[in-house]
Copies of this chain bind each other. A is one copy, B any other.
Amino acid sequence: MAQERRKGRTLGFIPTMGALHPGHLSLVRAARRENDRVAVSIFVNPLQFGPSEDFRRYPRPAARDRRLLEQEKTDYLFLPSPRAVYPAGFQTTVEPGAMAEGLCGRFRPGHFKGVTTVVARLFLLAAPDRAYFGAKDFQQAKILGRMVRDLGFNLKMRILPIVREADGLAMSSRNAYLTAEERRRALGFSQALALARRRMGEGGQNLAALKRVLVSYLIRQGIQVQYVEWADPETLEPLKASRPRMLLALAGYVGKTRLIDNAIITAFRGRKK
Contacts and interface: CB of A to CB of B under 8 A. Distances in A.
Contacts of A124: 151-154
A147 interface: yes
A51 interface: no
Report copies per complex. 2
A54 to B, nearest CB: 26
A109 to B, nearest CB: 15
Interface string A120-133: 11001101000000
A93 interface: yes
Contact of A92 (B86, B92, B127, B151): B151
Nearest to A144: B92
24 contacts: A2-B154, A6-B6, A87-B149, A89-B146, A89-B235, A90-B149, A91-B96, A91-B146, A91-B150, A92-B94, A92-B95, A92-B96, A92-B97, A92-B116, A92-B146, A92-B150, A93-B95, A93-B97, A95-B95, A117-B151, A121-B150, A121-B152, A124-B153, A124-B154
Interface of A: 2, 5-6, 86-87, 89-99, 116-117, 120-121, 124-125, 127, 146-147, 149-154, 235
